[in-house]
Amino acid sequence: MRFLRTPHVAMTALATVLACGLLSAPAKAEPTVEVLHYWTSGGESKAAGALRQDFEAAGGKWMDAPVAGGGGDAASTVLRSRVLAGDPPNAVQLKGPNIKDWAAQDKLANLDDVAKAEGWEKILPPLILDVVKYKGHFVAVPVNIHRVNWLWINPQVFAKVGVSAPKTWDEFNAVAGKLKAAGIIPLAHGGQPWQDATLFENVVLGLGGPDFYRKALVEQDKKALTGDTMIKVFDQMRKLRGFIDDGFPGREWNRAAALLMNGQAGMQIMGDWAKGELLAAGKVSGKDFVCAQMPGQAGYIVNSDSFVMFKSGNADRSAGQALLAKLILGQKFQETFNLLKGSIPARQDMARDKFDDCAVKSMDDLKSAVAANGLVPSMAHEMAVPGAVRGAFLDVVTSHFNSSMTSQDAVKKLAEAVDLAK
């Protein structure tokens, strides 16, 4: 055989082939992801930084694609244009019905393999499983559970004015009146539709209770949208408008949180990402701020952040997506991230000892709300209804808040706008 007769020639040829890498094992994928998110405030970026750090420590390459603007409305616009241009980011922060929408368009990678390997089915509560699965398959990985119904209080301001945490909306209005008379902004608020909607859903739950909330904001029942309770909700929104300073238009939620922490304002109604902001500024729960139950409320407004992975067809990107999904639901990351973010872990088998009083209350209240049928999804934070219906709610709530529209006109407009959007 020619090969045996001229071994040195064959060996030289083999060496050349090896040197050129032609016979070497296929190159190992380099896990890479471009991550579209809207965690850009002080507390949020610390939490997002923890995810990036874990990913890089595990050998991944992270390309950051942040879009400023709380609540994610600006990020949604960027996402839509990137998908239209045929260039979706690989990992995208997304929530609620939006997850199923993108899954229905067949844009999302199936995460069943990593879910199976990591036992997601066993560690996630039903309320979260419902959000992250589409037609029985995992298409998103949940990061956390945020509670939207919190009243944040500056205890030094309250002590100075001699008021305590209000338990009803009448008490809230009385406390706010006293703060105002003392020259303090009663309610720290920013001027963005999603922030107005955050106030609105809190008032809906406080004045109407969980059943009314579901009827009005989830099912868009016409009677609930136009009846006496909804009129009272808009009356209370008008009162809230009177407790906010004139500098609020365009203000971001974290700048509103700054008013609370520096004592210019007494209260803020916001989800517990506000706690992440206060902690990032070195504030301490129970001393510098208090997380109080919202007036008149027993339920729990839930909001959960997730990541979806857009299909990529690229081995490095797919490896990056699988690595990221695995890390996100790991116990270590769930603890580090949620301690920074102000939320509680999405997985249910976590130790509680490192979490503060607000987080422990959130964990306990979530359990009791589930048991008492008091758990409701956040409309303002994209957990309850499709984007078009949410848009209709936000338009009417914001126009009412920023004009002299009567409550009677507001409920009429609300029913019409929601009907058109359905």
Looking at beta carbons only, is 303 or 398 nearer to ligand BGC? 303
CB of 261: closest distance to ligand BGC in angstroms?
A: 16
Minimal CB distance residue for ligand BGC: 70
Q: Which residue has the tokens 């126009």?
A: 399
Question: What is the C-alpha to C-alpha distance for residues 95 and 273, in angstroms, rounded to an integer?
Answer: 15
Strand, coil or helix: 316: helix
Looking at beta carbons only, is 297 or 303 nearer to ligand BGC? 303
| Residues found in the chain | 422
Q: What is the bridge-based pairing of β-strands 151-153 and 290-292?
A: antiparallel
List, in sequence order, every residue forming a beta bridge with 147; answer none if it has no partner. 302
Looking at beta carbons only, is 31 or 142 nearer to ligand BGC? 142
CB of 143: closest distance to ligand BGC in angstroms?
A: 8
CB of 14: closest distance to ligand BGC in angstroms?
A: 56
Question: What is the C-alpha to C-alpha distance for residues 3 and 6, in angstroms, rounded to an integer?
Answer: 6
Tokens for 188, please give them.
């720290």
CB of 240: closest distance to ligand BGC in angstroms?
A: 19
Looking at beta carbons only, is 44 or 201 nearer to ligand BGC? 44
- Residues near ligand BGC (CB under 6 A) are 38, 44, 70-72, 146, 253, 273, 303, 305, 381
Question: What is the C-alpha to C-alpha distance for residues 277 and 96, in angstroms, rounded to an integer?
Answer: 24
CB of 185: closest distance to ligand BGC in angstroms?
A: 20
Cβ–Cβ under 8 Å, residues 416 and 225: no
User: Strands, DSSP E only, in 265-411?
Assistant: 265-269, 290-292, 300-303, 306-309, 344-345, 375-377
With a CB cutoff of 8 Å and minimum separation 6, the contacts of 95 are 72, 131, 303, 304, 305, 306, 381, 382, 383
Show the DSSP H helices in 40-138 as ranges.
42-57, 73-84, 96-104, 112-118, 120-123, 126-132
Cβ–Cβ under 8 Å, residues 392 and 421: yes
Looking at beta carbons only, is 305 or 316 nearer to ligand BGC? 305
CB of 253: closest distance to ligand BGC in angstroms?
A: 6
Cβ–Cβ under 8 Å, residues 342 and 43: yes
Looking at beta carbons only, is 209 or 386 nearer to ligand BGC? 386
For the chain, helix, strand, coil in percent to 5 are 55, 15, 30
> Which among 84, 96, 78, 72 is positioned nearest to 34, based on CA atoms?
78
Tokens for 203, please give them.
């008032």
Looking at beta carbons only, is 32 or 93 nearer to ligand BGC? 93
CB of 207: closest distance to ligand BGC in angstroms?
A: 23
Looking at beta carbons only, is 10 or 74 nearer to ligand BGC? 74
Kindly report the number of other CB atoms within 10 A of residue 239's CB atom: 15
CB of 71: closest distance to ligand BGC in angstroms?
A: 5
Question: What is the C-alpha to C-alpha distance for residues 267 and 245, in angstroms, rounded to an integer?
Answer: 12
Show the DSSP H helices in 133-288 as ranges.
155-161, 169-181, 193-213, 222-226, 228-241, 253-261, 273-280
Looking at beta carbons only, is 72 or 208 nearer to ligand BGC? 72
CB of 175: closest distance to ligand BGC in angstroms?
A: 26
Looking at beta carbons only, is 102 or 273 nearer to ligand BGC? 273
Looking at beta carbons only, is 38 or 212 nearer to ligand BGC? 38
CB of 381: closest distance to ligand BGC in angstroms?
A: 4
Tokens for 363, please give them.
């964990």
CB of 314: closest distance to ligand BGC in angstroms?
A: 28
Query: What Rg, from alpha-carbon coordinates, does the chain have?
Result: 25
